[in-house]
Amino acid sequence: MLFTTRSICAGYEKFFAEINADLIRSQQLFCPEMEPDLMKITGGWATCDGIDAYNTQVIGWGANGEVSDDEIDQVLKFYENKPGRVRIEISCFADRTLIMRLENRGFRVRGWIVTAGKDIIEEDKNFEFKSPFKCFLATEKDEEVWVDTMNRGFLDNEDGELDPGLLPMGKAVFRSESIIPFIAYEGDKAVASSSLTVKDNIACLVAATTLPSFRRKGAQRDMQKIRIAHAAKMGAKTLLFEGLPGTESLHNAYKRGITALYSSVVLAREEIDNLVF
């Protein structure tokens, strides 16, 4: 069973930061017109996706070393005149003054993220689908449908208007070297999407969305199972998952044997709707 210490947490936070940096590098390659940007910081990266979507953030700050006032000011200067509401995720192992120093600069606590995990075992390679949906690994021919499904899954109304910038950004996510995409269908209709990342024997379940009219019908439950099985077959030893306290996605993760490891606090100057990608 997994447990966490300061050094283990630091390694996990570095993992999450590198995955987000990979997403920005993919954007720089496939949609440079959006002016995505990143900046190396203590223990990780500050990232900006260019359109106020889901990757304008600092992850795990304070897990891998002390954060000075000068570095805080350098990071805030990096975000000046960039689109998006920057969110800053603070490690539970950060210096206790870091939140206060960010609050002095106009940031406020907006929520918490739970990092959970489990050891991947041989039995994870085998699973049984229990939903009426067909879930499978997405390939190049599925790219446009996967991107559309992912973005519409974030909406309250799946037929609503999408920000035009989400299409090229979604394609950059799909093509990132860190992303292994999955998709779920009911008949001939794509209803849910999700992703897996695997790096240095660590796997993480990310970017799960379901069209509003198909939620709570088991698609993401089965997507969790198929992604864990894929990670096991790739040789990953540890599985991580990030979720918001009390959410259905976190509850489904607990059903898969994933247990809470630690929590991080999220600060921003404005309210943030989607704290987890």
Q: Summarize pLDDT for 222-236 with one digit per residue, the tens.
A: 999 999 999 999 999
pLDDT tens sequence across 119-172 = 999 999 998 888 889 999 999 999 999 999 999 998 888 888 888 888 999 999
What contacts 140, CB < 8 A, 6 or more positions away? Answer: none
| pLDDT over 90 at 252, yes or no | no
| pTM for this predicted structure | 0.91
Specify the CATH number for 122-262; select among 3.40.630.30, 3.90.700.10, 3.40.50.300, 3.60.15.10: 3.40.630.30
Q: Which of 147, 127, 142, 135 is nearest to 228 (CA)?
A: 127
Q: Which of 235, 234, 241 is nearest to 260 (CA)?
A: 241
Q: List the domain boundaries for the chain.
A: 6-113+264-268, 122-262
Q: How confident is the model at residue 112 (pLDDT cuts 50, 70, 90)?
A: very high
Half-sphere exposure of 144 (CA within 13 A, CB side): 1
Local structure of residue 123 (DSSP, 8 states): G
